[in-house]
Amino acid sequence: GEKVEQHESTLSVREGDSAVINCTYTDTASSYFPWYKQEAGKSLHFVIDIRSNVDRKQSQRLTVLLDKKAKRFSLHITATQPEDSAIYFCAASIGSFNKLTFGAGTRLAVCP
Amino acid sequence: EAAVTQSPRNKVTVTGGNVTLSCRQTNSHNYMYWYRQDTGHGLRLIHYSYGAGNLQIGDVPDGYKATRTTQEDFFLLLELASPSQTSLYFCASSDRQKDTQYFGPGTRLLVL
């Protein structure tokens, strides 16, 4: 089955700098790649996603890049703020019935 | 914003005990999911359902049963709980037309 690897387990950046979180997947049939955010002690909520018919998607300070050849996708956060501090999970789905496979998570700390 | 609730929020049981975790969504979503979250593993899918009476096996189903009694309600059953099932359990739901999953607040289970 699909395996999603999240390369950075922790990431620390200075407020205002950019942060990049990288994920790779194994199944070439995967076509949907969402990102979820989990703040300390809270549940997960959706932040942004990308589908395999595009290679870039931007929403305000968030950009997702998809490299299908390398089976790699990444989340870029610009102008980081303390409220961006959280665990970020990447996930992949083959598309049928939205069965997601998650990465292990990246703990992002934005330091003042 | 989709609403997913879970009960109980915290549960302590003993090895061999019987536990039922409940999930309710009030957004008429077709799909519902049960995940467990463990450090180093991210979220792993236990069981999921396409609708009332339907049940699909996820990636880590051993030791778990599930039942979808209505469109709104999805239950996870641990009939002989083991310490390895100590975890944080999340329920989620999504619409058939859209891929975003909405997560409940989680249930923290401790098996002694």
pLDDT, one tens digit per residue, over B35-75 is 999 988 899 999 999 999 999 999 999 999 999 999 999 99
Closest CB from A46, A103, A105 relative to B100? A46
Nearest CA to A56 out of A68, A46, A44 is that of A68
Mind listing the pLDDT tens digit for each residue in A22-35? 999 999 999 999 99
Instruction: Say which residue the tokens 């310490």 belong to.
Output: B83
- Are B32 and B103 in contact by the 8 Å Cβ rule? The answer is no
pLDDT at A43 over 70: yes
How much is the pLDDT for A97?
A: 65
Q: Give dist(CA B1, CA A15) in Å, integer.
A: 29
Cα–Cα nearest to B108, from B80, B86, B88: B88
Whether residue B31 is predicted with pLDDT greater than 80 in this model: the reply is yes
CB contact under 8 A, B59 and A102: no
Residues of chain A with C-beta less than 8 angstroms from the C-beta of B104: 43
Over residues A49-61, the pLDDT tens digits come to 999 999 999 999 9
Beta carbons within 8 Å of B98's beta carbon, 6+ residues apart: none
CB pairs under 8 A between A and B: 53
Contacts of A36 in chain B (CB under 8 A): 103
Strands A56-59 and B56-57: unpaired
Indicate the range of A11-25, A45-59, A88-102, B57-71 predicted with least confidence.
A88-102
